[in-house]
Amino acid sequence: MTKKALITGIAGQDGSYLSEHLHSLGYEVHGIIRRHSVAENQNHRLHKHGLSDEIHTHYGDLLDYPSLVRIMNEVKPDEIYNLGAMSHVRVSFDMPSFTIQTNALGVLHMLEVYRTICPEAKFYQASSSEMFGNSVDEDGVQRLTTPMNPVSPYGCAKVMGYNLVRHYRHAYKLHACNGILFNHESPRRGSNFVTNKVVKSAVEIKKGLRDKLELGNLDSYRDWGHSKDYVRAMHMILNHDTPDEFIVATGQTHSVRDLCDVVFSKLGMNYQDYVVQNEKYMRPEELKYLKGDSSKAREVLGWQPEYTFESMMDEMIERWEREL
């Protein structure tokens, strides 16, 4: 029989790549989308990439428990991927209550509906490197044993969701697992996230459409991979024999300053001529450094990233050169 997958946050970057990946594997793919006033905002990634006719979408919300019950009863999925979240870390400082509700209480809602309606299914929770905060092991790496000391409402909420998944797995013997994904980007990333903001702005400057780029902290370091590689890891994590926790990361780190240098250089420019700092983009508490140890995912699951930082930037630049 054809496997059925249910994805929350299917209209996002990861959701669109995951639905594409699962569809290619023969899955019947269902996704939950939130209702927006502008219809194009609801599933523009799915429509743009030819997915809207291939998947089944349902209106719902992580904070609307009855809608989750209805959808779970209708779909009866074999696999559940909870990717839905308030996903912008900087904005979580401005909207802490909504972030906590969506990213923590929303996970609880999904787990309860999963437990009561289709407990035989497998459940994947999109956990985050932001959970570690500024905790770094002595060798400069974050791993599963690194203490979690988040420094944002987003990170705090993700820690609660992470622990809820572990609790439900042990308490109710569910196949519920966590993927701790470090930063991952792509041409489908929203342009209010720093990677695509830098790439889009650099192309606009190159084309004479703007003259400067305002950013926050240029000296924060991140472990950036490609979303397409990371959704493959999600599927591997969920289908591992034993439900468990895995870190997905490249093991390489770059600063925002490095990012600017690489992107502007690829376009024949010097970022120092165009990039300025603006206090409004600074976080009240900064997360300085992320570098993940994904050795467990590589050894146990056989996962390997196909993209490099350079090839990812090339793909993102090509998107904006084509569209602007």
pLDDT digits (tens, 9 = 90+) for 291-324: 999 999 999 999 999 999 999 999 999 999 999 9
pLDDT of residue 17: 96
Alpha-carbon separation of residue 229 from 5, 62, 88, 139, 250 (angstroms): 19, 26, 21, 25, 10
Beta-bridge mates of residue 80? 6, 123
pLDDT of residue 97: 98
- pLDDT level of residue 35 (50, 70, 90 thresholds): confident
128 is a catalytic site residue: yes
Instruction: Say how far apart CA 110 and CA 105 lie, in whole Å.
Output: 9
One-letter identity of residue 103: N
Instruction: Say how far apart CA 275 and CA 161 lie, in whole Å.
Output: 36
299 is a catalytic site residue: no
Q: Which residues neighbour 258 within 8 Å (Cβ) at sequence distance 6 or greater?
A: none
Q: Among the options 128, 152, 186, 227, which is catalytic?
A: 128
Q: Among the options 27, 124, 154, 168, which is catalytic?
A: 154
Helices assigned H by DSSP within 61-191: 65-75, 89-94, 96-100, 106-117, 153-172
Instruction: Say how far apart CA 11 and CA 188 lie, in whole Å.
Output: 10
Question: How many other CB atoms are there within 10 angstroms of residue 100's CB atom?
Answer: 18
pLDDT digits (tens, 9 = 90+) for 85-104: 999 999 999 999 999 999 99
The answer to whether 13 and 88 have CB atoms below 8 angstroms apart is no
pLDDT of residue 43: 66
17 is a catalytic site residue: no
Structure tokens given for 135: 């905790």
Percent of the chain with pLDDT over 90: 90
Mapping DSSP to helix (H, G, I), strand (E, B) and coil, where does residue 291 land?
Answer: coil
Beta strands in 137-283 (DSSP E): 175-181, 184-185, 213-215, 221-222, 225-226, 245-248, 254-255, 275-277
Q: Which of 149-153, 188-192, 211-215, 310-314 is predicted with the least confidence, judged by mean pLDDT? A: 188-192
Task: Count Cβ atoms within 10 A of the Cβ of residue 142 and give its class: 0-12 exposed, 13-18 middle, 19 or more buried.
Answer: buried
Average pLDDT over residues 131-152: 97
Phi-psi region of 142 (alpha: psi -120 to 50; beta: other; left: phi over 0): beta
Q: Among the options 130, 152, 185, 294, which is catalytic?
A: 130
Average pLDDT over residues 32-48: 71
- pLDDT level of residue 49 (50, 70, 90 thresholds): low
Instruction: Say how far apart CA 323 and CA 187 lie, in whole Å.
Output: 11
Instruction: Say how far apart CA 237 and CA 239 lie, in whole Å.
Output: 6
